Amino acid sequence: MTRQKISLSTILLFITGVAVPGFVTGCFTADTYHNKRHLDTMRKDMNAAHKDIDRVLGLDEPSPLVEEK
């Protein structure tokens, strides 16, 4: 039977993937409602940032170069 080698980078990638959501949203608990509120807030903030960037770049209005159907 052969043993698979697990590299240090694979282990670090796994640990990072598990730990990142807690750091990104501030805190994660066993309370799913609490976690959902954090994720909803992040989603709302990302949507607002996306709209702001579109407004600055002038992408929030339809292009005059596109013909309407």
Domain ranges of the chain: 28-62
pLDDT digits (tens, 9 = 90+) for 31-61: 888 888 888 988 999 999 988 888 888 787 7
Angle among Cα 64, 55, 39 to the nearest 5 degrees reads 130
Q: What is the pTM of this model?
A: 0.48
Quote the pLDDT of residue 44.
93
At 17-29, the pLDDT tens digits run 766 665 665 676 7
21 neighbors 28 (Cβ within 8 angstroms): yes
Please say if the pLDDT value at position 3 is more than 70: no
